[in-house]
């Protein structure tokens, strides 16, 4: 049986829930946390008894993993290190919200082996941080970034969001400039999406917030150009880095590697088996600690589904997709080449800039 090389851990707590976000999370509650950490460790023990887990990449996402206290993180990471073969770990990322960064926490994470931080800055503009309902100021984000550097992190990602209500082109350009000036190793720039079951979605439905696709496209093109000029290659629709600084964990997902996800709402794909854990922290803990499966749903992924996924994810990246893989859809490929959505790159097909603007729609043709 092949070893699992990529491990995801979902920490479903946030200091405050942002009005646009649909990731599974809840407001932090210190009383429930220890039980949750123990459930994660039990799930890890159980899953690694089923198959060898020798991670090359680990990703702590959320929610907000840094919403855990220093002692909670120390406990969780220390116990995971005791249980796992860590010899081959090359990248260990932990997501942080700027309001939850401290020197003590950063140094402890670094000492326990975390070597990459992804920090959600979203914007450097105080008014827009307010629109986004963020708990931190732009000064606090800057201080947190400096703390991460002082604590020894040499691989830091900054998350930004564009097409935010009321955001001007100049404000977005300014957020990009301020980010570039800090020289992080990686920048994720997401176009705001109106996700179901969020406050922003309700406001969007009621016409209080509007979306302008042309405006989104304009800001997206500004992003690609400005970041390219600063040495950040767009290696995936929303992700930019100098060569060699791409997020290995996400690349592994996108290129179809198996991965194990722990925690509520986490997905796992191991061979033909895929499951998602229940999206309910209390239920997750009850199930795991009672010896039951945490999975809320399970499916067998057939080779056709994995192929369609490889095409959809591959098209989003600058590596594109081998033309051979698209053979059954040759007429669609020719049409997209003629319309300027696709371009040939050796024996591969990549999206053009025009194609990147409608990547999801194009990928849907290959399902
Ligand atoms: C799990 S959060 C990052 C860590 C931490 N929770 C924080 O917000 O600082 C992942 C990222 O997804 C992005 N994101 C969340 N909801 C989004 C949405 N509706 N549209 C676009 N990007 C979104 C944000 O940039 C956010 O930083
Ligand atoms: S964006 Fe980050 S901090 Fe805000 S609710 Fe989502 S996961 Fe929590």
User: CB under 6 Å to ligand 2: residues?
Assistant: 14, 17-18, 21, 23, 25, 62-64, 97, 120
Q: What is the pLDDT of residues 59-71, one digit of tens each?
A: 999 999 999 999 9
DSSP reduced 3-state for 334: helix
Give the ligand at the shortest distance from the Cα of 99: 1
DSSP element (H, E) containing 13: strand 13-14
Task: Report the atom number in ligand 2 closest to the C-alpha of 17.
Answer: 5
pLDDT digits (tens, 9 = 90+) for 259-286: 999 999 999 999 999 999 999 999 999 9
Structure tokens at 34: 């220890």
In the chain, DSSP assigns E strands to 4-11, 13-14, 26-27, 53-62, 91-96, 116-122, 156-162, 186-191, 233-236, 239-241, 260-262, 267-270, 273-277, 295-300, 321-322, 342-345, 348-351
**Cβ-Cβ contacts under 8 Å for 81 (sequence gap 6 or more):** 112, 113
Ligand nearest to the CA of 12: 2
CA distance 173 to 219: 9
Chain mean position to CA 222: 22
Give me 21's structure tokens.
Answer: 């976000």
Question: What per-residue confidence (pLDDT) applies to 31?
Answer: 77
Atom of ligand 2 nearest to the CA of 14: 8
* Residue ranges of the chain with per-residue pLDDT less than 50: none
Q: Counting atoms of ligand 2 from 1, which one is nearest the CA of 134?
A: 4
Handedness of CA 162, 168, 172, 178 (dihedral sign): negative
Using one digit for the tens of pLDDT, what is the confidence trace for 94-118? 999 999 999 999 999 999 999 999 9
Q: Which residue has the tokens 């932090």?
A: 28
Is the Cβ atom of 21 under 6 angstroms away from ligand 1?
yes
Closest residue CA from atom 4 of ligand 2 = 18
The Å distance, Cα 21 to ligand 1 centre, comes to 7
* Helix, strand or coil, per DSSP, at residue 271: coil
**100 contacts 60 by C-beta, under 8 angstroms:** no
**311 CA distance to ligand 2 centroid (A)?**
29
Q: Which atom of ligand 1 is nearest to the CA of 161?
A: 25
What pLDDT, on a 0 to 100 scale, did the predictor assign at position 1?
A: 73
* Cβ 62 vs Cβ 14: under 8 Å: yes
DSSP calls for 62-92: ES-GGGS-HHHHHHHHHHHHHHS--TT--EE
């Amino acid at each position: 049986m092949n070893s699992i090389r990529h491990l995801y851990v979902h920490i479903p707590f946030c200091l405050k829930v942002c009005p646009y976000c649909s990731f599974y999370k809840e407001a932090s509650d210190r009383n429930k946390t220890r039980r949750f950490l123990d459930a994660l460790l039990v799930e890890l023990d159980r899953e690694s008894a089923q198959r060898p887990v020798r991670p090359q990449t680990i990703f702590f996402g959320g929610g907000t993993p840094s919403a855990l206290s220093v002692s909670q993180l120390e406990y969780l990471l220390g116990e995971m290190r005791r249980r796992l073969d860590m010899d081959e770990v090359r990248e260990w990322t932990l997501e942080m919200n700027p309001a939850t960064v401290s020197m003590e926490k950063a140094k402890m994470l670094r000492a326990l082996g975390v070597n990459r931080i992804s920090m959600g800055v979203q914007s450097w503009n105080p008014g827009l941080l307010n629109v986004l309902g963020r708990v931190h100021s732009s000064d606090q984000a800057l201080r947190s970034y400096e703390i991460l550097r002082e604590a020894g992190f040499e691989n830091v990602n900054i998350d930004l969001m564009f097409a935010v209500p009321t955001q001007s082109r100049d404000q977005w350009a300014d957020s990009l400039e301020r980010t570039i000036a800090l020289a992080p190793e990686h920048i994720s720039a997401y176009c705001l999406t109106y996700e179901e079951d969020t406050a922003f979605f309700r406001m969007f439905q009621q016409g209080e917030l509007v979306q302008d696709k042309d405006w989104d496209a304009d800001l997206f093109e500004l992003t690609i150009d400005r970041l390219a000029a600063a040495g950040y290659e767009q290696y995936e629709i929303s992700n930019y880095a100098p060569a060699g600084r791409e997020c290995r964990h996400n690349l592994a997902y996108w290129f179809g590697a198996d991965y194990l996800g722990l925690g509520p709402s986490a997905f796992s794909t191991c061979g033909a088996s895929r499951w998602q854990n229940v999206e309910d922290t209390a239920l997750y803990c009850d199930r795991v600690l009672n010896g039951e499966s945490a999975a809320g749903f399970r499916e067998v992924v057939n080779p056709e589904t994995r192929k369609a996924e490889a095409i959809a994810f591959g098209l989003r990246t600058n590596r594109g997709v081998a033309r051979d893989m698209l053979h059954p859809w040759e007429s669609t490929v020719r049409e997209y080449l003629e319309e300027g959505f696709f371009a040939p790159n050796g024996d591969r097909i990549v999206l053009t800039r025009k194609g990147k603007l409608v990547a999801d729609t194009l990928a849907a043709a290959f399902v």
